[in-house]
Amino acid sequence: MTFKVYEFDRAIVRRPATSVTKGLRATDRGDPSYPGVKREHDAYVAALREAGVQVEVLEPLEEYPDSIFVEDPALVFTTGAIALRPGAASRAGEAQVMRAVLARHFKNVLQLPRGLVDGGDVLRTPEKVMIGLSARTNLEGAEALVECLAEIGLSGVIVKKTPDNALHFKSGTSLLDDVTVLTTRRQSGSGVFSGFKEMLVPPGEETAANALRVNDRVLVGADFPATIALLSKAGFKVVPLPNSEIRKIDAGLSCMSLRWHQ
């Protein structure tokens, strides 16, 4: 049986550490509250389970404030997993910790051999794996990732640099179905989505572009009513989720889980 790239039955998440309040952020909007982050993370895990996903919840890592964002140090696919080399120095040790977790689930676990790559810059589509260059993902790392992807039977392609005001490639885009991406006007203008139908988030809700399609539903930040209305009108089953505290440390919905179909 062939599965869509947004159909998942397994996921890995990590509970936030109390140190999450000191997580990295490009713009200082104040520290998030630990209880707030925990509530939002709990709601996120519940939404994955309600979508039919079996979720493994890892214990917190106090020494890594950003370790709640498990997608940045690793990538997972049905055919294998890749431990990455995160672009932020404070997160360098997370990939090694995650590698041991990946080995429990995948026979084939590769290690990015050189360069820097954050998983937030990597978008899986039906035909290819798109790798965006950013402050956290450099060309050397992207080229090495293309090689790793080929080893597990996937085609990788390097796309243009992420717009300067976005942390990651996926900060401004997400896959909605086989032919449609949700994206910002600025990201749309980069020309990387040739061949896709583009659905543009309404002005003022650019952060909503980091939505997450999981099986028959789309997870979206609850604070973006215009985007929720847009997606609902287009026929998508939308699940609004609170993420205002997590957004204070530049997070979206895709980065908090590693998802695959076993």
- Residues annotated as catalytic (active site), given as ranges: 168, 255
Residue pair 228/240 in contact by the 8 Å Cβ criterion = yes
Q: What pairing do the DSSP bridges indicate for beta strands 197-200 and 212-214?
A: unpaired
Residue pair 245/41 in contact by the 8 Å Cβ criterion = no
The runs of H, that is alpha helices, within 61-117 are 94-105
Residue pair 154/129 in contact by the 8 Å Cβ criterion = yes
In this structure, the dihedral spanned by the alpha carbons of residues 202, 207, 209 and 212, taken in order and rounded to 10 degrees, is -140
> Residue 110 belongs to what H/E stretch?
strand 109-111
Both tokens of 217, joined, read 């539903």
Residue pair 216/7 in contact by the 8 Å Cβ criterion = no
Both tokens of 46, joined, read 């519940």
Distance, CA of 78 to CA of 57 (rounded, Å): 19
Distance, CA of 139 to CA of 127 (rounded, Å): 21
Both tokens of 69, joined, read 């964002």
Q: Taking the CB of residue 92, how many other CB atoms lie within 10 A of it?
A: 14
Nearest 5 degrees, angle CA 207-CA 61-CA 11? 60
